[in-house]
Copies of this chain bind each other. A is one copy, B any other.
Amino acid sequence: MSRTQKIFKDFIARKGLKSTQQRDIILNEFLKSGAHLSTEELYLRIRKKHPSIGYATVYRTLKLFAECGIAEERHFGDGQARYEPCTGEEHHDHLVCRDCGAILEFEDSRIEELQENVAREHNFKILSHRLELYGLCERCSGGSK
Contact = CB atoms under 8 A, between A and B. Distances in A.
A90 interface: no
Size class of A's contact patch? Answer: 20 to 34
A77 interface: yes
B118 A108 contact: yes
Nearest to A126: B135
Contacts of A77: 75
A133 B138 contact: no
A126 B134 CA distance: 6
Given A135-B126, A136-B127, A110 B114 contact: yes
Contacts of A95: 118-119, 122, 124
A117 B114 CA distance: 15
Interface in A106-122: 106, 108, 110-111, 114-115, 117-119, 121-122
